Amino acid sequence: MGSVLEDVMSKRAEYQENCTKSLAATYFTRTGIYCNGTFDLFVCWPHSSPGNVSVPCPIYLPWINEGGSENVYRECTPTGTWRKIKNSTDVWRDQSECFNPHYFRKQEEDVLPLSALRIISIIGYSLSFFSLLLAVFILAVLRKLHCTRNYIHINLFVSFILRAAAIILKEIILHVMYTNLPSDETGWNGYSNSMISVICKATQVLMHYFVGGNYFWLLVEGVFLNTLLFTAVLTKRRLLKKYLFIGWGTPVLFVVPWTVTKILYENQGCWSNKKQWIWWIIKGPITLSVAIVFYIFIKIIILLLSKLQADQGKFTDYRCSLAKATLVLIPLLGIHEVVFTFIPDESVEGQTRYIRNFINLTMSSFQGLIVAILYCFANGEVQAELKKRWQLFIFANRLDMDDCFQGTRFKYLWKCSRKRPAHGFSQSGHCEKASGPSNVQLLQVTVRTRGQIQHCRPTGVARYARGSLSSSEGEMTMGETMEEILEESEF
């Protein structure tokens, strides 16, 4: 409905401009008694002689065809003034032939289901936004998980976050634009050039950039998996700069030309997609990226199938394992976009179109949430590291409290409640500030002082300490081999 309003406003402005030029051109040809021509905010009235005056209904109305038989009527009095409504200062006008109350009936019927779709998408993008923020925080804080694979995951999560934020912001701006419409002629004249219209166009540019970036980070995930499984390259860190350019740089190459083309050839309203050749400036590269990702997906599935069939001793039900791996790869690579990219919204009508849009919006809006769950919250590597950090935190704090309470007078207990960057243990039993040892050093200290603290039970400390010291922050983390990828797909 927003695009219809933009069309009406654009055509009405052109109609009013032509009316002004026409009245100015015929101003000096008037003779005798006549009524002055005017544009009465609805239709253009020419300079007219006394009598009944009729003009065609304005062509900017979407249901009026140029050259139609519908007219609007006025009456010019013998005194050269337009007839007014009885007991009023308003000019009389009969515009009944210009009305079509059933023109928007179908759109009115679609308001409720389309509003439901919009609410579902906003809920999905909101949940994805907050879950991905938490996932990015976890992957960024846990330094032991830093590797090229997780760097790519972090950038993908950020692209989902920016996409969700841009789409929610666009929905808010469109809601403000089309629910706070002007009520007078001055407001309508400045409506199309208002600041909110400029903000709406800027939001469209940002949204298309972030959506494009999201698609190309999905492509990067596919390219990285393809490199991991089909090449003999041992380290992938040197490829990270190229991945960053593909993910964040490629969208600039088509969003900027699209913006310039819009300004030059279709600078109306909030830049809805009307001319398909302009829209293909953005749609073309995204369609190409989706096709490449789908090709990589098919290659990976074929490889997984051959690997599972060869190792049926290890994977007794290889079909189930293949199905799990496939389901995990679908949101990571955005495979569902293949269906909706090659079956555009314009190619279906009626109930089928509503079902298509429901599935598309639901999967697209909740995709970020699913990816955050699969590749962060339900990931065994992340869960193990979080569990280790939590147990180390609990154990370190238990030792600290035991040491503070043991042999300490009641009046010194307030010192132990203070937060300190690190702790040491003195011979007297009081809490003293240390010079800032690391977590591993702290564990080594606590292990050495085990015999000095009676109430401490450091069960499993040595194991956690050895795990912290032996874990690598290099490239080869979980998921680097085919078997481990399959294990990761099973959470």
Phi/psi-derived region of residue 420, left when phi > 0, alpha when psi is between -120 and 50, beta in every other case:
beta
SS (H, E, C) 16-53: HHHHHHHHHHCHHHCCCCCECCEECCCCEECCECCEEE
pLDDT at 317: 59
pLDDT at 478: 36
C-alpha pair distances (Å), 317 with each of 169, 218, 300, 325: 47, 29, 19, 13
* pLDDT tens-place string over residues 22-47: 888 887 777 778 888 888 888 999 98
Q: Would you kindly state where each structural domain of the chain is located, as residue ranges?
A: 2-98, 110-378, 386-470
- CA 298, distance to chain mean position in Å, is 27
CB contact set of 446 (below 8 Å; sequence gap of 6+): 395, 396, 399, 456, 458, 461
Question: Which SS3 state, helix, strand or coil, does residue 479 take?
Answer: coil
Place of tokens 């809920």: 123
pLDDT at 245: 92
| pTM, full prediction | 0.69
Q: Residue 336: which of 307, 367, 308, 358 has the closest Cα? A: 367
Domain 2-98: assigned CATH number:
4.10.1240.10
Return phi, psi of residue 41, to 5°.
75, -5
pLDDT at 251: 94
- CATH architecture of the domain with residue range 110-378: Up-down Bundle (1.20)
SS (H, E, C) 362-376: HHHHHHHHHHHHHHH
pLDDT at 342: 75
**How far is the C-alpha of 146 from the C-alpha of 477, rounded, in Å?**
9
**How far is the C-alpha of 415 from the C-alpha of 430, rounded, in Å?**
9
pLDDT at 285: 93
What does the DSSP 8-state code read for residue 82? Answer: B
C-alpha pair distances (Å), 403 with each of 65, 325, 391, 393, 418: 89, 49, 18, 15, 14
**How far is the C-alpha of 262 from the C-alpha of 278, rounded, in Å?**
7
pLDDT at 479: 38
Low-confidence ranges of the chain (pLDDT < 50): 405, 408, 410-491
